[in-house]
Amino acid sequence: MKILALVVSLSAALVLTGCAVKTSGVKKVGPDTYTVSADHLNASTAKASVLEQAGEYCVSQGKELLVTKT
């Protein structure tokens, strides 16, 4: 029974990991200029995640998000 629970737990972890968006984190590249990138099989999911992360970072810095390139 413990082995079955472990297999189910590991399977769930693998499925959830496969759905995760991996981002680079916000990085400063110049004065008031930052970049963030993401890796995901679905481009629209990656883009949405990056925009959300960038927006949250800007708010935390008291700035506004201005997207210059996607």
Q: Which whole-number Å values give the CA distances from 8 to 2, 5, 20, 65, in the listed order?
A: 10, 5, 19, 41
- Per residue in 9-21, pLDDT (tens digit) is 333 333 344 457 7
- Per residue in 21-56, pLDDT (tens digit) is 788 888 999 888 888 888 877 888 888 888 898 899
Q: What is the pLDDT of residue 19?
A: 59
Does pLDDT of 64 surpass 80? yes
DSSP one-letter string for 3-67: HHHHHHHHHHHHHHHHHPPEE---EEEETTEEE--EE-SSHHHHHHHHHHHHHHHHHHTT-----
